[in-house]
Amino acid sequence: MAMPAWARRSALRALAPADVCRVQFRARPTPRDIRHVLFEALGIGGSPPTRPIEFDTLLKDALAERFRVLVCDEAQWLSRECFELWRHLWDDRRTQIAIVFVGGGDCYRVLRREPMLSSRVYVWQEFRRVQLPLAGPAISALSILLFLWTWNQFLLAIVLVDDPTKRTMAGALGAFQGQWGTDIPLLCAGSILILLPTLIVFLVFQRQFVAALLQGAVKG
């Protein structure tokens, strides 16, 4: 969704003014620039460390104190090393941060081609928008067949369940058959009652069932 920069800043300030931290860099920043900008934005006292490992540890300790939303402006200028630094900070279990990348121009294209973001940010979206709709007919057909198999279970209900009140309806049909005779009208009525739920389920989900059968079909 496209949104002007002033609108993003106003919305974030209105929603969480105390938790939003806006970080802005010069053109073509380096990981060193990101560390120093975060050092100043988080209000860490003292002098910044010279070694990257010590610097990252200090930043993680500051980011672990409370939840923060880091708004990274002009994200289209970030290099792959910069994105890896953001990933390194975000992957730490102690840090409580949400990183929002904003920018103009080809920012979206730059973010999409980064392996760090494509493997973390867009995985759920890809599953929900691509893989799940494709698997919808198969999941529906499997659910229908599983329901029918469970509802019409007869042998296991007779053999494994001793209490007649806890058996399936198919297993309860045996109650209409005695040693010396069978109550045909009650047996037919019970069969119709057992058939109705399966018929209703199939009529409601018949399109998904047929789509699952035709999903792998090809024209010859």
Does 220 fall in a domain?
Answer: no
Same-domain pairing of 100 and 176: no
Same-domain pairing of 115 and 154: no
> Residue 117 is part of a domain; what is its CATH number?
3.40.50.300
Domain count, the chain: 2
Does 107 fall in a domain?
Answer: yes
Q: What is the pLDDT of residue 14?
A: 63
Same-domain pairing of 149 and 101: no
Q: Is residue 201 within 8 Å of residue 150, measured between CB atoms?
A: no
pLDDT digits (tens, 9 = 90+) for 66-102: 888 888 877 888 888 888 888 888 888 888 888 888 7
Phi, psi values for residue 8, rounded to 5°: -65, -45
Q: What is the pLDDT of residue 9?
A: 59
Does 127 fall in a domain?
Answer: no
Does 129 fall in a domain?
Answer: no
Q: Is residue 215 within 8 Å of residue 137, measured between CB atoms?
A: yes
| Mean pLDDT across 15-26 | 69
Q: Which of 81, 96, 121 is the last residue of a domain?
A: 121
Same-domain pairing of 62 and 141: no
Same-domain pairing of 108 and 153: no
Same-domain pairing of 26 and 110: yes
Does 168 fall in a domain?
Answer: yes
Does 126 fall in a domain?
Answer: no
- As a residue count, the chain comes to 220
Q: Is the pTM of this model over 0.75?
A: no
Same-domain pairing of 19 and 114: yes
User: Cα–Cα distance between 173 and 153 in angstroms, integer?
Assistant: 12
Q: Which of 121, 154, 186 is the last residue of a domain?
A: 121
Same-domain pairing of 30 and 117: yes
Q: Residue 214: helix, strand or coil by DSSP?
A: helix
Structure tokens that stand for 98 in this block: 């949400």
> For residues 182 and 35, which has the higher predicted lDDT (pLDDT)?
35
pLDDT digits (tens, 9 = 90+) for 128-144: 766 777 787 778 778 88
Does 144 fall in a domain?
Answer: yes
Same-domain pairing of 117 and 183: no
Same-domain pairing of 102 and 148: no
| Domain ranges, residue 142 | 134-214
Structure tokens that stand for 205 in this block: 């989900």
Percent of the chain with pLDDT over 70: 78
Same-domain pairing of 93 and 168: no
Residue 7, pLDDT above cutoff 80: no
- Which residue(s) pair with 17 in the sheet? none
Q: What is the pLDDT of residue 173?
A: 74
Q: Which of 121, 149, 173 is the last residue of a domain?
A: 121
The CA distances from residue 209 to 139, 151, 197, 217, in Å, are 9, 18, 16, 14
User: Cα–Cα distance between 25 and 75 in angstroms, integer?
Assistant: 9
Residue 218, pLDDT above cutoff 60: no
Structure tokens that stand for 131 in this block: 């893989």
Does 153 fall in a domain?
Answer: yes
Same-domain pairing of 86 and 31: yes
